[in-house]
Amino acid sequence: MAIDRLREGDPGEPAVHPEDFTLSSDPWALFAAWMAEAEASEPSDANAMALATADADGLPDVRVVLLKGLDPRGLVFYTNAESAKGEQLRANPQAAAVLHWKSLGRQIRARGPVSPVTREESDAYFASRHRDSRIGAVASRQSRPLTDRPTLMAEVAALSARYEDGPVPRPEHWRGFRIEPLQLEFWQNGAYRLHDRVRFTREGEGWARSRLYP
C-alpha cells in the first residue's frame, strides 16, 4: 500500500458491514462471530493478539501471543509463568489485549484482571500440542539470557532423547492464564476515519453497551 493511502482524508476501502454489530447485546456472541470470520479469511494466526502487562513499578510491556480459549469466562493464553510476562502478572495480575484483523478492518480490545486457569485445562492444552512444541516448552527458559542458539538446540536434542516417543510432561511453570474482561470494545473501520466503536462494560452479571466517538 502506498503511504499516501494512509494520509488523513483518504477514505481507502470503505468497510463492509455484513450486520449492524452496534445493535448486539451479547459481546461474547459478537466476539465468537468476528473470530469465526477472521479464521475463515486471515492467512495465518487469526488468533494472534497483542498482550500488554505491567510490572510492579507500573512500567508497561507488550508482546504478541495466541488466543487459545474464548468463552464467557474470558480470553485464555498459555505461557511460561517464569517468563517476563509471568513475573509481571504475579506482581500486577491485570492485562489488556487487542486482536486486529486488517483484512476485515476490525479489532477487539479487552482488559481486566488475570487469573491462572485450572491445572486440568493447562494439562489438556499442553497434551494437545505438537510433540516438538512440548519439547521446546520444556527446554526454553523463556525471557532469560541465552549464551547462543546451539545451547538451546542441545537442550532440545537431550530432551528429545530422554522422552523418545513417550509422553512429554507439562512443566509446572508452564500454564494458562485467563483475562476476565471488565471491558470489551469492538472497532469497525470506517471511511474518512469515521470508525464505529462499541464498548461493553461489565455491570454485575451483565454488560452495559455504549457507542464511542471514533
Instruction: Extract the annotated binding site.
Output: 63-68, 78-79, 85, 107, 125, 129, 133, 142-143, 187, 193-195, 197
C-alpha cell at 12: 481507502
Q: How far is CA 52 from CA 65, 115, 116, 172, in A?
A: 10, 15, 16, 23
Binding residues for FMN: 63-68, 78-79, 85, 107, 142-143, 187, 197
**SS3 of residue 128 by DSSP:** helix
> Which of 90, 144, 162, 193 is an active site residue?
193
Query: What is the C-alpha separation between 105 and 86, in angstroms, rounded?
Result: 31
Per the annotation, the verdict on 193 as an active-site residue is: yes
Task: Return the amino acid letter for 164.
Answer: E
- The half-sphere exposure of 207 on its side-chain side, counting CA atoms within 13 A, is 19
Sign of CA pseudo-dihedral 159, 163, 168, 171: negative
Binding residues for substrate: 68, 125, 129, 133, 193-195
Q: Which residues are catalytic?
A: 193
